[in-house]
A and B are shown apart, each in its own frame.
Chain A
Amino acid sequence: EAGVVQSPRYKIIEKKQPVAFWCNPISGHNTLYWYRQNLGQGPELLIRYENEEAVDDSQLPKDRFSAERLKGVDSTLKIQPAELGDSAVYLCASSLVWGAQETQYFGPGTRLLVL
């Protein structure tokens, strides 16, 4: 069974440019998460989707970040415009449903460098 797929794996852009990340969760997983991991830190949740609905986006910087999961499967995370401080690894994860017993399965991440 395929795991969580993310693309691109690496992205280098200049500040003020837009960038988008794509995630395909494990088939059948209703819950999808986007995390940001800064160097030397643990991941921090940006947004959680239950099917198409964003149920927790309290940590998403809404002035420049946006996300969508239109059909309740794939998801896209966008930054516009990017800033130097956005350099990080962006991780996508999925789980069958949301629950304390549910394991989250992580993708390999997209490593973003903003110059």
Chain B
Amino acid sequence: KQEVTQIPAALSVPEGENLVLNCSFTDSAIYNLQWFRQDPGKGLTSLLLIQSSQREQTSGRLNASLDKSSGRSTLYIAASQPGDSATYLCAVISGGSEKLVFGKGTKLTVNP
């Protein structure tokens, strides 16, 4: 059974700092890995989707990497802003499962 773990559970940083969020998964046979953002009282917004054959994806100040063999992914946020404050969720689709399995998320607070 696929399990997804995110560390840390919460992170507080000053504005402007670069930061890294971590995600690990137990079964390396995945189709893809996605990073989502969730704001309080709102649904999830997809940030980046990395196919199993890819090593990384970039969108603006966000860069996500994938190391399938070690079961790890990182989300790098450059020059953080208060508007980046949210919960970031990592999710994978495993081969043979056909469903997204989510981690518990990392709650990020960027202080002005």
Give the most central of B34, B44, B105: most A CB within 10 Å: B44
Interface size class on chain B is 20 to 34
Q: List 16 A-B contacts (CB under 8 A).
A: A4-B43, A41-B104, A42-B89, A42-B101, A42-B105, A43-B89, A45-B99, A56-B98, A56-B99, A91-B43, A103-B46, A103-B49, A107-B43, A108-B42, A109-B42, A111-B41
8 Å CB contacts to B: which residues of A57-94?
91, 93
Which residues of chain A have C-beta atoms less than 8 A from B44's C-beta? Answer: 43, 91, 93, 106
Which residues of chain B have C-beta atoms less than 8 A from A108's C-beta? Answer: 41-43
Q: Does B51 contact A (CB under 8 A)?
A: yes
- B98 to chain A: closest CB distance in Å? 7
- B45 to chain A: closest CB distance in Å? 7
Which residues of chain B have C-beta atoms less than 8 A from A93's C-beta? Answer: 43-44
Q: Does B93 contact A (CB under 8 A)?
A: yes
- B101 to chain A: closest CB distance in Å? 8
The proximity string for B residues 86-112 relative to A, scoring 1 for CB distances below 8 Å and 0 otherwise, is 000101010000111111110000000
